[in-house]
């Protein structure tokens, strides 16, 4: 676990919470900036060259840089703190995205949005207060890792197979759940990799954690894109963001031996807080999906009118 010598006077809990919130803010900024780049000049042409075309836009590159800094802050938070604390706090990115979206992309923030954001924040505060995660270890024996990875795969493989057919919302939900589970597993591996930095940066190349992180991370990003490609944004985002913190709490307790306040009432309150946060995220993602649908409809209508008048549309 990383040292607190760089943060004199701060407690461990304060540092990991602060870094997790910074990561959530940076992730939200990255998402909004990338969205702004797409709205300002929608990328036409084949999907194979999409990233190359987007990389020519400074706003998009700044968004990618914000995402990268967010990952650094997340890794630092995991190095200082506990998986069961850091990952649930990253849900705050959907709250930070509201004012950022209103300011940078002129998105309308409704009373429903504000109410859902308040619900998410209140649920997170309740979770941290009631569950009060403590203890834990940065790594686990290989056998424990194999059991955890196997359990995740046993759940994810049927979900991915189920996500290959059916209506788009159903497919998005199945793939979103699998994505959230693998996001949590990636976070647990990230924590182990960061802990190995105490023994020198070259140490991470001599153990399996880094390579496992690359494989699981690539798989999670692929599933995330598959969920988004269904076109059903709301269930894809809501399920992945809900099952990430839930799975993280389970992995934190079972794999990394983190302890929660385990009284009967506390367990009920903890589950209720996580469910409430999930409800808030679902509302926010549905609102976002509705706005994106309206934007797409407006752009489609503009394109049709331009065709009627003989005008060309698209990026210049």
Q: How far is CA 88 from CA 8, 219, 243, 308, in A?
A: 26, 21, 10, 50
Q: What is the pLDDT of residue 73?
A: 94
Q: Which helix (H) or strand (E) element contains residue 134?
A: strand 134-135
pLDDT per position as a tens digit, 35-55 = 777 666 655 554 445 556 777
Q: Rounded mean pLDDT of 288-294?
A: 55
Q: Which of 154-193 are b and which e, b meaning 16 or more Cβ less than 10 Å from the residue's Cβ?
A: eebeebbebbeeeeeeebbbbbbbbbbbbbbbbbbbbbbb
Query: Taking Cα atoms as reference points, which of 65, 63, 68, 55 lies closest to residue 104?
Result: 63
CA quadruple 184, 190, 192, 196: dihedral, nearest 10: 180
Q: What is the pLDDT of residue 191?
A: 92
Q: What is the pLDDT of residue 148?
A: 96
Note the residue count of the chain. Answer: 316
pLDDT per position as a tens digit, 168-188 = 888 888 998 999 999 999 999
Q: Rounded mean pLDDT of 188-204?
A: 89
d(CA 260, CA 255): 13
pLDDT above 60 for 3:
no
pLDDT-wise least confident of 20-29, 62-71, 201-210, 287-296: 287-296
pLDDT above 50 for 298:
no
Q: What is the pLDDT of residue 259?
A: 85
pTM score above 0.85: no
pLDDT above 80 for 88:
yes
Query: Taking Cα atoms as reference points, which of 220, 224, 184, 223 lies closest to residue 88?
Result: 184
pLDDT above 50 for 302:
no
Q: What is the pLDDT of residue 79?
A: 87
pLDDT above 50 for 235:
yes
Name the 3-class secondary structure at 135: strand
Q: Rounded mean pLDDT of 8-24?
A: 78
Q: What angle do CA 182, 86, 160 make, to 5 degrees?
A: 15
d(CA 75, CA 70): 9
Helices (H) and strands (E) in the chain, counts: 11, 2
**Per-position DSSP letters for 184-243, written without gaps between them:** HHHHHHHHHHHHHGGG-GGGGGSSSHHHHHHHHHHHHHHHHHHHHHTS-HHHHHHHHHHH
Query: Taking Cα atoms as reference points, which of 8, 58, 6 lies closest to residue 33?
Result: 58
Q: 123 and 89 in contact (C-beta within 8 Å)?
A: no
pLDDT above 80 for 92:
yes
Q: How far is CA 278 from CA 48, 155, 173, 265, in A?
A: 34, 20, 13, 20
Max Cα separation, the chain?
Answer: 70
């Amino acid at each position: 676990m990383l040292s607190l010598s760089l943060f004199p006077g701060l407690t461990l809990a304060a540092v990991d919470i602060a870094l997790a919130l910074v990561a959530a803010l940076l992730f939200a900024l990255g998402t909004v900036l990338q969205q702004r780049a797409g709205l300002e000049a929608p990328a036409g042409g084949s999907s194979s060259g999409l990233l190359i075309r987007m990389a020519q836009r400074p706003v998009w590159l700044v968004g990618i840089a914000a995402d990268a800094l967010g990952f650094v802050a997340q890794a630092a938070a995991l190095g200082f703190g506990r998986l069961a604390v850091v990952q649930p706090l990253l849900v705050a990115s959907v709250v930070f995205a509201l004012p950022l979206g209103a300011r940078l992309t002129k998105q309308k923030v409704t009373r429903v949005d504000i109410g859902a954001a308040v619900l998410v924040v209140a649920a997170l505060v309740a979770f941290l207060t009631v569950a009060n995660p403590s203890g834990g270890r940065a790594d686990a024996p290989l056998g424990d890792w194999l059991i955890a990875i196997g359990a995740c795969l046993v759940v994810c493989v049927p979900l991915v197979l189920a996500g290959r057919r059916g209506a788009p919302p159903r497919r998005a939900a199945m793939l979103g759940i699998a994505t959230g589970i693998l996001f949590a597993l990636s976070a647990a591996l990230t924590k182990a990799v960061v802990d190995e930095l105490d023994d020198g940066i070259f140490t991470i190349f001599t153990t399996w954690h880094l390579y496992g992180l690359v494989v699981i991370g690539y798989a999670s990003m692929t599933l995330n894109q598959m969920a988004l490609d269904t076109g059903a944004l709301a269930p894809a985002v809501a399920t992945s963001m809900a099952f990430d913190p839930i799975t993280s709490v389970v992995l934190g307790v079972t794999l990394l031996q983190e302890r929660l306040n385990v009284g009967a009432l506390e367990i009920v309150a903890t589950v209720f807080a996580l469910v409430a946060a999930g409800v808030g995220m679902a509302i926010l993602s549905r609102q976002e999906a509705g706005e994106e649908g309206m934007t797409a409809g407006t752009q489609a209508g503009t394109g049709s009118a331009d065709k009627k008048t003989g005008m060309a549309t698209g990026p210049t």
